[in-house]
Amino acid sequence: MTTTTVRLERDKESGVAVVTLDREAKLNAIDLDMAAELAAAWCELRFDDTVRAVVLTGAGARAFCTGIDRSVDVPQPSSPYSIDDPLLTIGPKANDLWKPVVAAVRGMACGGAFYLLGEAEFVVAGESAAFFDPHTTYGMVSAYETALLAQRMPYGEVARMALMGTAERMSARRAYEVGFVSELTPEGEELAAAVRSAEVIAGYPTEAVQGTVRAVWATREAARAQAYAQAPHLIALGNLPPERQAELFGKRGADFRIR
């Protein structure tokens, strides 16, 4: 697999693959190439029997992923009953991959990053990790992201993150306290910790591991599917026009608080 925005490395001895979002200069924001390459990577890993567990991370120290690249222009249908969202196909579950995925987060994770984190089995984060959802700040409805987050965190924490927008970030410590992050590590050690967990899982019988992943996901799937069904209408009705979003994006700075 030849890619320009996603790195895929495999250790056949341990059975662990590491998928790295590789647009460090753009804070690993997702453009259409990365969206396609992520989907292709998950599909490729479905057929690689030497890989039994996966770690997902981002290049560099500043960000795991900052969501969709603002320069991406995705034409939308006029109907309020449908929406074209390139991020709906970037996650492992969306591509029918049932090998366990452990996310290793360093730096910022916001907006569209939750499409990925929401489909990981669990999250390991370094002390600098910070989580936030900028949608409402820029006149956009947070729908798919909050549907995934609501299955990982208490309602009040999800609501606060979604409604406060860029006014504050959830610290790695707070994310650990509310259960979104399962392991908190010293800065720079999150990837190694995630790989260690993945190696343990990869050492267990494959069928039992993948069956367990399916079972855990099945307990969440009905609620997620219902929320996703409403998302296109809420976004179509609640989003400001693109030009107004761009205006707000240009006016509002990045002076965020961390709690």
Check residue 259 and give its pLDDT: 42
Structural domain tally of the chain? 1
In a domain, 235, yes or no: no
Does residue 233 fall inside a structural domain?
A: no
The DSSP bridge pattern shows strands 183-185 and 122-126 to be: parallel
Query: For residue 194, is it within any domain?
Result: no
Separation CA 202–CA 102 (nearest Å) = 11
pLDDT, tens digit, 9 for 90 and up, residues 60-93: 999 999 999 988 877 777 776 777 888 999 999 9
Q: Which of 58, 254, 258 is nearest to 172 (CA)?
A: 258
Region 92-100: mean pLDDT is 97
In a domain, 226, yes or no: no
**Considering the domain boundaries, does residue 108 fall inside one?**
yes
Average pLDDT in the chain: 92
- Residue 217 falls within a domain, yes or no? no
Q: What is the pLDDT of residue 2?
A: 64
Give pLDDT tens digits for 145-191. Answer: 999 999 999 999 999 999 999 999 999 999 999 999 999 999 999 99
Tell me the C-alpha distance between 234 and 66, whole Å: 22
Is position 214 within any domain?
A: no
137 lies in some domain: yes
CATH value at residue 60 = 3.90.226.10
Q: Give the domain range for residue 165.
A: 6-188
